[in-house]
A and B are shown apart, each in its own frame.
Chain A
Amino acid sequence: MTDAEELRTRTRRLLTEHPPATTDRTDFLKARFDAGLAWVHYPVGLGGLDAPRALQAVVDAELAAAGAPDNDPRRIGIGLGMAAPTLLAYGSEEVKSRFLRPLWVGEEVWCQLFSEPGAGSDLAALGTRAVRDGEDWVIDGQKVWTSSAHLARWAILIARTDPEAPKHRGITYFVCDMTDPGVEVRPLRQITGEAEFNEVFLTGVRIPDAHRLGEVGDGWRVAQTTLMNERVSIGGARIPREGGMIGKLAATWRERPELRTHDLHRRLLDLWVDAEVARLTGERLRQQLVAGQPGPEGSAMKLGFARLNQAISGLEVELLGDEGLLYGEWEMRRPELVDFTGRDAGYRYLRSKGNSIEGGTSEVLLNIVAERVLGLPSEPRNDKDVAWKDLTR
């Protein structure tokens, strides 16, 4: 068992042997990975020390105090948050050794090829085909809403391997090489004017069977590992009071007395209370997790986050009046990072419309709360035992 004191010692040794001030950033990150200090709860040899996850904070604090570079986690969030846990849980030793180090260091960016035009909320209905051909699989289909696809070296991909089976049982999970000549990435422009996402067209893409994660036909179960991590990362960041969008609105309110009206004041206070309650709910959830008592409140976080962001930014546009009628710029840009709170109020208003759609729509999440938390029966279903090929799409 690795304890905090030992981690401190190891971290200081890393800092002594590879002084951040004189070490190349990537070299330092590789050394950190090899010292098992990348993610301490990962296995020895894969960037970790089999230590309790909570002890990562000890390492991070030591490194931050020494001014060590980090691996820019926002830029490689899909790799860290979604691909890595899945690779760890389902990858062969060879796959784990090949992919985890460059993933964590940030040398290789990852993206997620899950959603399709015809398979959003009903992801299990996806139609991208994977057909076995010798030692390879051949992939044909279209994916959509893919962040970072234009930057990615690798993708996690789910595709249909058995159209005769019910939809959940005919899916297989792969690692896809984004440099394959059959991969075409096109920007997908959003209502904000930006193209944060992509459409990805897959035509005759070849994937070696060695890059399959989990059993053939077991891809849906594998994907649950990925998706659980996505929802936590979307709703789970720690924020201070008036952090996030309410802070922007509150600042505008304080700085611009001439914009204030009774109507807006009432609504501002309603939202301020909601935002503070959401902050405390998140804080309580975090304390529960640390205490080893994870609760179902996690499902509520993303729902509340989406509703609040939309309401707050909508009110901010109204508050700004003349300025609310304007927009920064419509030129199509390809931002490298998703930014919910940046730019102007109009941007925030439009971008936050996606918060109740991306990573699980609010409607689907409410069903999850109703069925899994409250134990209410699901609506009668006619899609679970039917062969995928016989579903109406």
Chain B
Amino acid sequence: MTAQTDLLYSETEDDLRAAVRALLADRAGHQTLLDRIETDSPYVPGLWKSLAGDIGAAGLLVPEALGGQGATHREAAVVLEELGRAVTPLPYLTGAVVATETLLALAGEGGPAVELLAALASGERVAVLAVPLSAAPDAEPRPGPTVAGVADAAVADVLLVPRADGLYAVPAGEATIEPQTPLDLTRPLARVTTEPGSGTRLADGDAARAAVRRGLLAGAGLLASEQLGLAEWCLEETVRYTRERHQFNRPVGSFQALKHRMAQLWLDLVGARAVARAAADALATGSPDAPLTVAVAQAYCSRTAVRAAEECVQLHGGIGMTWEHPAHLALKRAKSDQIALGSTGRHQDVIADLMDLQAPV
């Protein structure tokens, strides 16, 4: 890590956070989500337009010259912290980060990639990369016309499809998108099938592979911020509940055994915040350290979010096991995020390689 790494939040970032938080509190509270997951689509109608268009969050990574806001991964990370806190179903990580970053890698080529970028940056269109949600940055693409486990394909206008001879933009109308039943009800998955040769080729083999890697690396790095926000909500909600819930004529949060668990979670969150900021900053500055920092952020924040969500359920007691309480939304998101964009083991392997900490032979 270089001395210049900025691990704090700027005033602009604080303002952005406040705007996103207010929007989500107003339009996508937990009760709204609990109602929405009983319908065909968990996405709150009109919410994407407000976040992408009105707040301008969809174009944060895109330079102004290409129709975006000209901000960085640091700001996008703040948006993701808020989306994680609220477990909001929106194609932000998949569209505004992974797909957008993939296209940014191809912007030098001009043409269709640049046109699509402008549409994504304004929020007018949504694109997602047609890879499984589990795909790690260094994953080998699986051949074949069908890809399962594609997140947010249900709301995509365009699918970015990696094929052996390059990356293609395929209009959603020309693809077959079959919904799957996800563990995480707030991030729909689908099986996506496209005809070989369909769509517009954006880049050839090598450039395409590099672009996809870059998109997924940004996704993995910023997923850490989503996990941080989610874990933070879990801890806050647990603290609030255990201060109010009385058993044995005292708040259950006054029992030392419970207090210490929440204090330990807070310590884990301190670490998660530092490493999530480090990953966002490394991506923002194009630091050569980015692959390592992203791997560290994923290896740490995945388990922190899962533990925070599991503790949230447990420390809520019976009510945390019920469908009517939002804790399960966080638990299911945290568990899915643990698999998303590379498993912990995969990220550890990256660290082992980059830091020359080889496994025993």
Residues of chain A touching chain B, judged by Cβ–Cβ distance below 8 Å, are 115, 117, 119-122, 125, 144-145, 188-191, 193, 261-264, 310, 314, 317-318, 321-322, 324-330, 346, 349-350, 353-354, 356-357, 361-363, 366-367, 379, 381-383, 386, 391-393
Contacts and interface: CB of A to CB of B under 8 A. Distances in A.
Contacts, number: 134
B323 A190 contact: yes
B316 to A, nearest CB: 9
A262 B359 contact: yes
B335 A317 contact: yes
A252 B189 CA distance: 23
B174 interface: no
Nearest to A356: B314
B29 to A, nearest CB: 19
B321 A190 contact: yes
B87 to A, nearest CB: 14
Contact of A145 (B183, B318, B331, B332): B318
Contact of A317 (B247, B339, B340): B339
Given A327-B181, A363-B257, A262 B323 contact: no
B250 interface: yes
Contacts of B359: 262
Given A314-B306, A325-B133, A393 B246 contact: yes
Contact of A125 (B149, B247, B256, B257): B247
A325 B328 CA distance: 15
B230 interface: no
A189 B324 contact: yes
B313 interface: yes
Given A263-B345, A325-B184, A327-B181, A191 B249 contact: no
Given A330-B185, A392-B246, A325 B317 contact: no
B153 to A, nearest CB: 13
Given A314-B306, A318-B338, A325 B134 contact: yes
B33 to A, nearest CB: 14
Contacts of B327: 191
B7 interface: no
Contact of B183 (A120, A327, A391, A392): A327
With most chain A CB atoms within 10 A of its CB, the pick from B149, B252, B323, B336 is B323
B141 to A, nearest CB: 14
B226 interface: no
20 contacts: A120-B247, A121-B317, A122-B248, A125-B248, A189-B322, A189-B324, A191-B321, A191-B327, A261-B345, A314-B306, A314-B335, A318-B339, A318-B343, A321-B134, A325-B336, A330-B181, A330-B185, A381-B248, A383-B250, A392-B250
Contacts of A325: 133-134, 149, 182-184, 189, 336, 339-340
The residue among A191, A357, A362, A386 with the most chain B CB atoms within 10 A of its own CB is: A191
Contact of B181 (A326, A357, A379, A383): A326
A219 to B, nearest CB: 19
Given A325-B183, A327-B182, A393-B246, A120 B323 contact: no
Contacts of A193: 323
Contacts of A327: 181-183
Contacts of A328: 181
B310 interface: yes
Interface in B341-357: 343-346, 348-349
A383 B339 CA distance: 45
B55 interface: no
A252 B45 CA distance: 40
Interface string B292-326: 00000000000000100010011001111111100
Nearest to B327: A191
A320 to B, nearest CB: 8
